[in-house]
A and B are shown apart, each in its own frame.
Chain A
Amino acid sequence: MRYSGFRIIKEALTGNRGWQPAWRNPEPKPHYDFVIIGGGGHGLATAYYLAREFGKSRIAVLEKGWIGGGNVGRNTTIIRSNYLLDGNEPFYEFSLKLWEGLEQDFNYNAMVSQRGVLNLMHSDAQRDAFTRRGNAMHLNGADAQLLDAAQVREMVPYLNFNNARFPIKGGLLQRRGGTVRHDAVAWGYARGADTRGVDIIQNCEVTGFRMTNGKVQGVETTRGYIGANKIGCAVAGSSGALMAKADQRLPIESHVLQAFVSEGLKPTIKGVITFGAGHFYVSQSDKGGLVFGGDIDGYNSYAQRGNLPTVEDVCESGMALMPMIGRARLLRMWGGIMDMSMDGSPIIDKTDIEGLYFNGGWCYGGFKATPASGWCFAHLLATDTPHETATAYRFDRFRKGLMIDEKGVGAQPNLH
């Protein structure tokens, strides 16, 4: 069933009796050509593009809970392509372009809203760094605009411009950045994949791999054994725990990141604003809640909930940037498990085991990557060669010293 304005009117006039479930709930088959582990954004997008772009069939997505229950439904929904390094920027710009056409492509309203992402700067050194980053973005075909303090003040007059310690000196604005309704991304990809014959199998946890002579044959799951020619692992924060079952150690640690939503307020914040002197970012959802977050808690965790010191730190940064936020009451907060890699950049690569492919290391920035990650992982699974924008996302970059370390902090995942 195609969704459209016409369909809504027709259903309204006929008592809304024609709607159908957006995807099936099939029983697992004994064998597939492609099994994708993890029904988050990346896994579902991978299955979608495998079917739609690469013409593959006999594909299953195995999800241990329900689709959208992981980070894809827990993030703060920001999309942007404002990276500095060559290994990253073309990939994230490819992703932003895919976001721009996504809703028409999968016929689902994901509320892609290019309301702009503004990174604030507070020192001369930061202005230099942002100028350089803006130029790198231009070189890769992305949009970027350097604003001075007066221009920022015009856009967002309510910020604390005269903070003695962290005066706002300007900002780097990417107008094409913005926010997307995160659940709808999972649902849209799920529906698009299902329509093209992909089996989305929920409540199906992968508990082990069956291998012979260094080649993977299939997966053991809570719903029985499922054979596969090729297996793609896209389980984000659970990467370490899952790949350990294939005896793979990864350049990844799992960490918890928290997010916060205030009570609904009148429209105040148009786009996304990030504080450059601490870690704090904020946007306003269409329902009016301020959606904000900051640093990861900073210790290994699989708990999907964080601790109070980080809550305090995030709120302090918020107060330093926009003191009026102190009047808003917090409505909800939660945590998600990040696959923090050793250089802060992701991996889309084959593993040492034939037939087993890996997608992970997305840190706290993998939501914006969802379309390109799915596309590039599908490319790798279908053709056994990396997509041109993902050639740097290899495992062996750590062995070879070819790190893609945007922050330059080294092999210390809790600092990325």
Chain B
Amino acid sequence: MIINHPLLGPRDAQEFTYLGDASLIDRPDWSAEDANEQYYGYAYLRDNPAGLHRELWFHEQGDRSWLVVTRNTLTHEITRVEFASHVARLAGRSR
């Protein structure tokens, strides 16, 4: 697989390590009433779709950036690559 890095261009997926579903960006608020329940879902439950999947890849042997890659789990085709920091900021996070 080739991941089209937003800054560095097309890079071999071997340069990256895979973490999992991009929902891992949305760490729940530890001080919420139902934090236990939220963390259970956050840490252990997954949508695991057959089709488009937004997922986190770390450019370990490159610029060490975290990327959100949109990839089809049925074909492995990658349709979109964004910086995770950008995605997080768009979602209202400070960093």
By a beta-carbon cutoff of 8 Å, the part of chain A in contact with chain B is 238-241, 244, 249-254, 298-303, 307, 309, 342, 398-399, 411-414
Contact = CB atoms under 8 A, between A and B. Distances in A.
A412 to B, nearest CB: 7
Contacts of B44: 251, 342, 398-399, 411
Given A300-B55, A303-B75, A399-B40, A241 B49 contact: yes
Q: Is the interface of B mostly helix, strand, loop or mixed?
A: mixed
29 contacts: A238-B50, A240-B46, A240-B47, A240-B48, A244-B47, A249-B46, A250-B46, A251-B46, A252-B48, A253-B20, A253-B46, A298-B18, A299-B13, A299-B55, A299-B71, A300-B48, A300-B53, A301-B76, A303-B76, A309-B12, A309-B13, A342-B43, A342-B44, A398-B40, A399-B40, A411-B43, A412-B19, A412-B20, A414-B18
B73 A301 contact: yes
A309 B14 contact: yes
A299 B41 contact: no
A162 to B, nearest CB: 30
B45 interface: yes
A413 B20 contact: yes
Contact of A254 (B1, B48, B75, B76): B48
B46 A252 contact: yes
Nearest to A248: B45
B74 interface: yes
Interface size on B, as a range, is 20 to 34
Interface of B: 1, 12-14, 18-21, 40-41, 43-50, 53, 55, 71, 73-76
Contacts of A307: 1, 13, 76
B16 to A, nearest CB: 9
Contact of B49 (A244, A412, A414): A244
Contacts, number: 72
A241 to B, nearest CB: 4
Nearest to B51: A302
Contacts of B19: 412
B49 to A, nearest CB: 7
The 6 nearest A-B residue pairs measured at CB: A240-B48, A249-B45, A398-B44, A241-B50, A302-B50, A251-B44
A240 B74 CA distance: 13
Contact of A251 (B1, B45, B53, B76): B45
Nearest to A410: B43
Contacts of B48: 239-241, 244, 250, 252-254, 300
B75 to A, nearest CB: 6
A342 B46 CA distance: 10
A303 B19 CA distance: 19
Contact of B50 (A240, A249, A251, A252): A240
Given A249-B46, A413-B20, 14 more contacts: A240-B47, A240-B48, A240-B49, A240-B50, A241-B50, A244-B49, A254-B73, A299-B71, A301-B76, A303-B73, A303-B76, A309-B12, A342-B43, A412-B19
A303 B74 contact: yes
Contacts of B12: 309
Contacts of A250: 45-46, 48
A267 B46 CA distance: 45
A357 B94 CA distance: 43
Nearest to B55: A300
A250 B41 CA distance: 9
Nearest to A403: B44
Name which of B20, B48, B71 has the most chain A CB atoms within 10 A of its CB.
B48
Contacts of A253: 20-21, 46, 48
A414 B20 contact: yes
A411 B46 CA distance: 11
Contacts of A239: 48
Contacts of B50: 238, 240-241, 254, 302
A313 to B, nearest CB: 9
Nearest to B18: A299
A301 B73 CA distance: 4
Name which of A254, A298, A300, A413 has the most chain B CB atoms within 10 A of its CB.
A300
A300 B45 contact: no
B41 A249 contact: yes
Given A252-B48, A254-B48, A307-B13, A300 B43 contact: no
A254 B49 CA distance: 9
Contacts of A303: 73-76
Contacts of B53: 300
Name which of B1, B18, B44, B47 has the most chain A CB atoms within 10 A of its CB.
B44
A27 B80 CA distance: 45
